[in-house]
Structure 1
Amino acid sequence: MPDGRPQTRIQKKNTDAIREAALDVFSTHGFRGATLDQIAKAAGLSKPNLLYYYPSKEAIHVSLLSDLMTTWLAPLKQIDPNGQPMEEILAYVHRKLEMSRDYPRESRLFANEILQGAPRIRAALEGDLKLLVDRTVQIIENWMAEGRIARVHPYHLVFSIWSLTQHYADFDVQVRSVLTGEPPMTHAGDFLDHLYRKMLTPA
């Protein structure tokens, strides 16, 4: 709301409609290709009505990205340094797969922002995300030093999990085109379990 007051039921309904519509439009067309007219039409509102809630296209985009960063960081925060290393890493892989399955539009929104150079979330990437990844890397390095998992480059281990799991959301059309007749993630979890167990099991 412009004045910060609590929203009425109708105002919340309209705000939710705008955000849902914007998520569809941004994830399909990217920030540059999206327009306020498209978002207003998809939300079932007039453009002036939309502008009552959000002053610009960028304001909607930033709001969605802010919430998305919280969602995106949550699975990494759940890694327990006192847990069993292999199971903690595989549980993280599965949480990321679930996010790709459950939040494909959000994944594409994030990917589009990154491809543009992350102008609206660079501070979050260099702040909260980096701190969390650094913490996770320290956990992984401790496990390796204890001989509980094989030695790998810890940052690139995290990056590989991001890329392998997010592929199912960002390249959904390609995956579905190749896997005709089979749901895209039917065997993904089992395959990634096998891959990371083989990679991380100490010699």
Structure 2
Amino acid sequence: MSSIRERNKQQILRAASEEFADKGFAATKTSDIAAKAGLPKPNVYYYFKSKENLYREVLESIVEPLLAASAPFNEGSHPHLVLKDYIRSKIRISRELPYASKVFASEIMHGAPHLTAEQAGQLNAQAKHNIDCIQRWIDQGLMAKVDPHHLLFSIWAATQTYADFDWQISTVTGKAKLDDADYEAAAETIIRLVLKGCEVVEPGASEQVKSA
């Protein structure tokens, strides 16, 4: 029974992500979500109680991966490794959770009215931690003196565009859907631009930098 319950909840959550991403919160109807999920409308209310709760669940489904993507920053490793892992994690989120990513982007653009204080606090605290890490690497001579805030913003923009602006990407590339090679090329390109553009020192060269 629990497996059926979880499967139904996930079907509704996926359908809600698509509907909210396509129509926004106000224009989305629970009947459309139920239809897309292939379940009776009462099931939506049974599992989530209200459209508002379901919308918040969609936000939660993207907030957790976004926070988890910053795990490399929390390990205190070398910037060359941290930035590569972070960019790859962000590309993976855009690929695996494109609709939830669009919902999150829309939420932020509208002033985050449904984001809880706890979620906003977690995201802001993690961003500040990441910025502090970048600044520390700069102070240690491990990368160029770039603005840490704008570097982070640039990484967000470069990675999240593969979810939030998928129509434009599909139109330009002529592909209805990107494949493994496309996402790998995207990650490698962004990584190269960030590492080379920020003159990030490779692991093993750190001691040479310190003694220079």
Q: Is TM (by shorter chain) over 0.5?
A: yes
Aligned residues: 197
Deviation per CA, 1:56-101, whole angstroms, max 9, x where unpaired? Answer: 1111011221232111111112225542212211221121112112
Runs of 5+ consecutive residues of structure 2 not aligned to the other structure: 202-212
Runs of at least 5 residues in structure 1 that lack an aligned partner in the other structure: 1-6
SS in 2 for 1:150: coil
**Counterparts in 2 of 1:82 and 1:68: CA distance versus 1, 3 Å:** closer
Partner of 2:6: 12
2: CA distance, partners of 1:11 / 1:185: 33
Deviations 1:18-68 (A, max 9, x none): 212212211222212211110111122222332222221111011221232
- The match for 1:191 is 189
8 A contact 2:88–2:187 mirrored in 1: yes
Aligned to 1:3: none
Q: Which amino acid aligns with 2:143?
A: I
Which residue does the alignment assign to 2:133?
A: 139
Distance in 1 separating the partners of 2:94 and 2:11:
22
SS of 2:73 mapped into structure 1: coil
- TM-score, normalised by the number of residues in structure 2: 0.83
Q: Deviation per CA, 1:159-190: give whole Å up to 9, x if none.
A: 11001110111111111111125945353223
Mean CA deviation greater in 42-51 or 109-118? 42-51
Partner residue in 2 for 1:78? 72
Q: After superposition, what is the alpha-carbon deviation per residue over 1:1-20, rounded to whole angstroms, capped at 9, x for unaligned?
A: xxxxxx74443333222212
Q: Percent sequence identity over matched residues?
A: 33
How much has 1:134 moved relative to structure 2?
1.2
For 2:100, give the aligned amino acid. Answer: E
TM-score (norm 1): 0.86
Q: Assess if the C-alpha contact under 8 Å between 2:61 and 2:100 holds in 1.
A: no
